[in-house]
Amino acid sequence: MSNPMASAEVSIENVGGRDLRIARWRLDEPSDHPPVLFFNGIGANIEAVAPLAEAMDDRAFIMFDMPGTGGSPDPVIPYTVVTMAWTATQVLDKFGLEEVDVMGISWGGGLAQHFAIQHPGRTRRLVLIATSAGMLMVPGNPAALTKMANPRRYVDPDFMAKHFETLYGGALGNSEGKGGHMSRLTPPSPRGYMYQLLAMIGWTSAPVLPFMRKETLILMGDDDQIVPLANGKFLNSLIPNSELIVMEGGGHLFLLSHKDQCVSAIKDFLNAPDEAELSAAA
Protein backbone atom coordinates (compact mmCIF):
# COMPACT_ATOMS: atom_id res chain seq x y z
CA MET A 1 0.00 0.00 0.00
CA SER A 2 1.41 3.40 -1.00
CA ASN A 3 2.09 6.03 1.61
CA PRO A 4 -0.30 8.95 0.89
CA MET A 5 1.97 11.29 2.86
CA ALA A 6 4.91 10.61 0.56
CA SER A 7 3.73 13.20 -1.96
CA ALA A 8 2.86 15.84 0.64
CA GLU A 9 4.89 18.86 1.65
CA VAL A 10 4.71 19.14 5.43
CA SER A 11 6.08 21.89 7.65
CA ILE A 12 5.48 23.74 10.89
CA GLU A 13 4.48 27.32 10.12
CA ASN A 14 3.71 30.27 12.36
CA VAL A 15 0.29 31.43 11.25
CA GLY A 16 -1.87 34.00 12.99
CA GLY A 17 0.29 33.74 16.10
CA ARG A 18 0.05 29.92 16.24
CA ASP A 19 2.50 27.22 15.22
CA LEU A 20 0.62 24.76 13.01
CA ARG A 21 1.70 21.63 11.16
CA ILE A 22 0.45 22.11 7.61
CA ALA A 23 0.37 19.57 4.75
CA ARG A 24 0.05 20.50 1.09
CA TRP A 25 -0.44 18.35 -1.96
CA ARG A 26 0.18 19.57 -5.54
CA LEU A 27 0.22 23.31 -4.73
CA ASP A 28 2.80 23.95 -7.44
CA GLU A 29 1.13 21.79 -10.11
CA PRO A 30 -1.16 23.36 -12.73
CA SER A 31 -4.85 22.59 -12.31
CA ASP A 32 -8.17 23.70 -13.75
CA HIS A 33 -9.72 23.43 -10.28
CA PRO A 34 -9.48 25.50 -7.09
CA PRO A 35 -7.53 23.97 -4.19
CA VAL A 36 -9.35 22.09 -1.43
CA LEU A 37 -9.12 23.34 2.17
CA PHE A 38 -9.94 20.44 4.49
CA PHE A 39 -10.95 20.51 8.17
CA ASN A 40 -10.43 17.27 10.06
CA GLY A 41 -12.47 15.52 12.76
CA ILE A 42 -11.87 15.99 16.47
CA GLY A 43 -8.48 14.75 17.64
CA ALA A 44 -7.58 13.50 14.16
CA ASN A 45 -4.23 14.26 12.57
CA ILE A 46 -3.43 14.96 8.92
CA GLU A 47 -2.49 11.35 8.18
CA ALA A 48 -6.04 10.16 8.95
CA VAL A 49 -7.38 11.87 5.81
CA ALA A 50 -4.23 11.71 3.66
CA PRO A 51 -5.74 8.94 1.45
CA LEU A 52 -8.46 11.37 0.37
CA ALA A 53 -5.90 14.10 -0.33
CA GLU A 54 -3.96 11.70 -2.53
CA ALA A 55 -7.11 10.54 -4.32
CA MET A 56 -8.10 14.12 -5.22
CA ASP A 57 -5.18 14.05 -7.63
CA ASP A 58 -6.38 16.67 -10.12
CA ARG A 59 -6.21 19.63 -7.73
CA ALA A 60 -4.24 21.05 -4.82
CA PHE A 61 -5.19 20.04 -1.29
CA ILE A 62 -4.25 21.68 2.01
CA MET A 63 -5.02 20.88 5.65
CA PHE A 64 -3.47 21.41 9.06
CA ASP A 65 -3.35 19.74 12.45
CA MET A 66 -5.41 21.61 15.03
CA PRO A 67 -3.45 22.90 18.06
CA GLY A 68 -2.45 19.96 20.26
CA THR A 69 -3.21 17.43 17.51
CA GLY A 70 -0.74 15.54 15.34
CA GLY A 71 2.38 17.66 14.97
CA SER A 72 0.89 21.01 16.01
CA PRO A 73 2.05 22.22 19.44
CA ASP A 74 -0.43 22.55 22.29
CA PRO A 75 -2.64 25.63 22.30
CA VAL A 76 -1.70 28.20 24.94
CA ILE A 77 -5.22 29.55 25.35
CA PRO A 78 -8.61 28.19 24.23
CA TYR A 79 -9.91 29.13 20.80
CA THR A 80 -13.31 29.34 19.11
CA VAL A 81 -14.64 28.47 15.66
CA VAL A 82 -14.45 32.20 14.86
CA THR A 83 -10.75 32.51 15.65
CA MET A 84 -9.88 29.19 14.00
CA ALA A 85 -11.79 30.07 10.81
CA TRP A 86 -9.80 33.33 10.71
CA THR A 87 -6.58 31.36 11.31
CA ALA A 88 -7.46 29.19 8.31
CA THR A 89 -7.57 32.32 6.12
CA GLN A 90 -4.07 33.13 7.33
CA VAL A 91 -2.98 29.63 6.28
CA LEU A 92 -4.38 30.29 2.81
CA ASP A 93 -2.62 33.67 2.67
CA LYS A 94 0.65 32.01 3.69
CA PHE A 95 0.57 29.90 0.54
CA GLY A 96 -0.97 32.46 -1.79
CA LEU A 97 -4.41 30.82 -2.04
CA GLU A 98 -7.39 33.10 -2.55
CA GLU A 99 -10.53 31.05 -3.27
CA VAL A 100 -10.90 27.39 -2.23
CA ASP A 101 -13.40 24.59 -2.12
CA VAL A 102 -13.98 23.90 1.58
CA MET A 103 -14.45 20.41 3.00
CA GLY A 104 -14.87 19.13 6.54
CA ILE A 105 -15.64 15.87 8.29
CA SER A 106 -17.50 15.47 11.61
CA TRP A 107 -16.18 18.19 13.99
CA GLY A 108 -14.37 19.71 11.02
CA GLY A 109 -17.66 19.86 9.13
CA GLY A 110 -18.87 22.36 11.69
CA LEU A 111 -15.74 24.46 11.21
CA ALA A 112 -16.16 24.18 7.42
CA GLN A 113 -19.70 25.57 7.72
CA HIS A 114 -18.49 28.43 9.87
CA PHE A 115 -15.62 29.20 7.50
CA ALA A 116 -18.04 29.41 4.57
CA ILE A 117 -20.35 31.69 6.56
CA GLN A 118 -17.59 33.90 8.00
CA HIS A 119 -15.46 34.06 4.85
CA PRO A 120 -17.79 33.70 1.84
CA GLY A 121 -15.32 35.50 -0.42
CA ARG A 122 -12.75 32.75 0.14
CA THR A 123 -15.24 29.89 -0.35
CA ARG A 124 -16.41 28.58 -3.73
CA ARG A 125 -18.23 25.35 -2.83
CA LEU A 126 -18.74 23.39 0.37
CA VAL A 127 -18.56 19.64 1.08
CA LEU A 128 -19.85 18.42 4.46
CA ILE A 129 -19.06 14.86 5.52
CA ALA A 130 -20.67 13.01 8.45
CA THR A 131 -21.46 16.25 10.25
CA SER A 132 -24.22 18.32 11.84
CA ALA A 133 -25.43 21.85 12.56
CA GLY A 134 -23.70 21.80 15.95
CA MET A 135 -25.64 22.32 19.16
CA LEU A 136 -28.95 21.43 17.45
CA MET A 137 -27.68 18.06 16.23
CA VAL A 138 -29.67 14.85 16.57
CA PRO A 139 -27.51 12.89 19.06
CA GLY A 140 -25.91 9.61 18.18
CA ASN A 141 -25.88 6.26 19.92
CA PRO A 142 -25.11 6.97 23.64
CA ALA A 143 -22.79 3.96 23.76
CA ALA A 144 -20.76 5.44 20.89
CA LEU A 145 -20.77 8.99 22.23
CA THR A 146 -19.42 8.03 25.66
CA LYS A 147 -16.55 6.15 24.02
CA MET A 148 -16.02 8.96 21.51
CA ALA A 149 -15.32 11.37 24.37
CA ASN A 150 -12.60 9.06 25.71
CA PRO A 151 -9.16 9.83 24.21
CA ARG A 152 -8.22 6.18 24.94
CA ARG A 153 -9.58 5.40 21.47
CA TYR A 154 -6.43 7.02 20.08
CA VAL A 155 -3.83 5.57 22.44
CA ASP A 156 -5.13 2.12 23.37
CA PRO A 157 -5.37 -0.33 20.44
CA ASP A 158 -7.23 -2.87 22.58
CA PHE A 159 -9.83 -0.26 23.53
CA MET A 160 -10.27 0.67 19.86
CA ALA A 161 -10.50 -2.95 18.74
CA LYS A 162 -13.09 -3.75 21.40
CA HIS A 163 -15.29 -0.73 20.67
CA PHE A 164 -14.59 -0.12 16.97
CA GLU A 165 -18.01 -1.24 15.73
CA THR A 166 -19.83 0.67 18.49
CA LEU A 167 -17.83 3.79 17.71
CA TYR A 168 -17.85 3.84 13.96
CA GLY A 169 -20.58 1.49 12.72
CA GLY A 170 -20.62 0.19 9.17
CA ALA A 171 -18.10 -2.11 7.53
CA LEU A 172 -14.64 -0.99 6.49
CA GLY A 173 -13.24 -2.53 3.35
CA ASN A 174 -10.39 -5.03 3.41
CA SER A 175 -8.02 -2.39 2.06
CA GLU A 176 -8.51 -0.33 5.20
CA GLY A 177 -9.81 -2.17 8.23
CA LYS A 178 -9.20 -1.21 11.83
CA GLY A 179 -5.46 -1.60 11.58
CA GLY A 180 -5.18 0.59 8.51
CA HIS A 181 -7.04 3.48 10.11
CA MET A 182 -5.39 3.07 13.51
CA SER A 183 -1.91 2.98 11.99
CA ARG A 184 -2.34 6.54 10.73
CA LEU A 185 -3.56 8.06 14.00
CA THR A 186 -1.42 10.05 16.41
CA PRO A 187 -3.09 10.71 19.77
CA PRO A 188 -3.91 14.35 20.54
CA SER A 189 -2.67 15.89 23.76
CA PRO A 190 -5.24 16.07 26.59
CA ARG A 191 -5.25 19.87 26.34
CA GLY A 192 -5.57 19.82 22.55
CA TYR A 193 -8.49 17.40 22.73
CA MET A 194 -10.25 19.37 25.47
CA TYR A 195 -9.84 22.73 23.69
CA GLN A 196 -11.25 21.22 20.50
CA LEU A 197 -14.32 20.04 22.44
CA LEU A 198 -14.71 23.43 24.11
CA ALA A 199 -14.52 25.31 20.80
CA MET A 200 -17.90 23.93 19.69
CA ILE A 201 -19.81 24.32 22.95
CA GLY A 202 -22.92 26.40 22.31
CA TRP A 203 -22.19 26.76 18.59
CA THR A 204 -24.76 26.11 15.87
CA SER A 205 -24.95 27.10 12.24
CA ALA A 206 -28.72 26.54 11.99
CA PRO A 207 -29.96 30.18 12.14
CA VAL A 208 -27.58 31.28 9.37
CA LEU A 209 -27.62 28.34 6.94
CA PRO A 210 -30.86 29.39 5.17
CA PHE A 211 -29.06 32.59 4.10
CA MET A 212 -25.90 30.82 2.86
CA ARG A 213 -25.91 30.55 -0.92
CA LYS A 214 -22.86 28.36 -1.42
CA GLU A 215 -23.47 25.19 -3.42
CA THR A 216 -23.13 22.40 -0.85
CA LEU A 217 -22.72 18.63 -1.02
CA ILE A 218 -23.69 16.71 2.12
CA LEU A 219 -22.38 13.14 2.47
CA MET A 220 -23.80 10.95 5.24
CA GLY A 221 -23.76 7.26 6.22
CA ASP A 222 -26.97 5.46 7.11
CA ASP A 223 -25.23 3.43 9.84
CA ASP A 224 -23.37 6.31 11.50
CA GLN A 225 -23.52 5.81 15.29
CA ILE A 226 -21.95 9.19 16.08
CA VAL A 227 -23.66 11.59 13.66
CA PRO A 228 -26.93 9.97 12.56
CA LEU A 229 -28.31 10.47 9.07
CA ALA A 230 -31.06 12.75 10.42
CA ASN A 231 -28.42 15.46 10.85
CA GLY A 232 -27.61 15.42 7.15
CA LYS A 233 -31.30 15.66 6.29
CA PHE A 234 -31.57 18.65 8.65
CA LEU A 235 -28.62 20.39 6.95
CA ASN A 236 -30.11 19.61 3.55
CA SER A 237 -33.42 21.23 4.60
CA LEU A 238 -31.64 24.38 5.81
CA ILE A 239 -29.09 25.00 3.04
CA PRO A 240 -30.84 26.29 -0.11
CA ASN A 241 -28.33 25.06 -2.72
CA SER A 242 -27.54 21.67 -1.18
CA GLU A 243 -27.56 18.04 -2.25
CA LEU A 244 -27.60 15.04 0.12
CA ILE A 245 -25.96 11.73 -0.84
CA VAL A 246 -26.31 8.78 1.54
CA MET A 247 -23.69 6.02 1.68
CA GLU A 248 -25.59 2.78 2.23
CA GLY A 249 -24.07 0.73 5.04
CA GLY A 250 -21.72 3.60 5.83
CA GLY A 251 -20.66 4.24 9.42
CA HIS A 252 -18.83 7.31 10.68
CA LEU A 253 -15.77 6.31 8.64
CA PHE A 254 -17.58 5.88 5.32
CA LEU A 255 -15.03 8.25 3.81
CA LEU A 256 -12.65 5.28 4.11
CA SER A 257 -15.01 2.32 3.68
CA HIS A 258 -16.72 3.93 0.66
CA LYS A 259 -13.66 5.83 -0.54
CA ASP A 260 -14.11 5.37 -4.31
CA GLN A 261 -17.80 6.24 -4.13
CA CYS A 262 -17.07 9.33 -2.02
CA VAL A 263 -14.24 10.58 -4.24
CA SER A 264 -16.42 10.13 -7.34
CA ALA A 265 -19.33 12.04 -5.76
CA ILE A 266 -17.05 14.84 -4.52
CA LYS A 267 -15.31 15.28 -7.87
CA ASP A 268 -18.61 15.26 -9.77
CA PHE A 269 -19.93 17.96 -7.45
CA LEU A 270 -16.82 20.15 -7.48
CA ASN A 271 -16.34 19.82 -11.24
CA ALA A 272 -19.93 20.65 -12.21
CA PRO A 273 -20.35 24.00 -14.00
CA ASP A 274 -21.72 26.83 -11.91
CA GLU A 275 -24.84 28.81 -12.77
CA ALA A 276 -22.88 31.57 -14.54
CA GLU A 277 -21.19 29.04 -16.81
CA LEU A 278 -24.53 27.38 -17.58
CA SER A 279 -26.08 30.76 -18.41
CA ALA A 280 -23.19 31.66 -20.72
CA ALA A 281 -23.52 28.34 -22.54
CA ALA A 282 -27.29 28.72 -23.02
Instruction: Please list the active-site residues.
Output: 106
CA distances from 4 to 55, 56, 78, 89 (A): 9, 11, 31, 25
Residue 66 DSSP one-character state: P
User: Strand 18-25 to strand 61-64: parallel, antiparallel, or no bridges (unpaired)?
Assistant: antiparallel
Separation of alpha carbons 240 and 216, rounded Å: 9
CA 231 to chain centre: 16
- Which of 91, 96, 138, 97 lies closest to 111, judged by CA? 91
d(CA 85, CA 152): 28
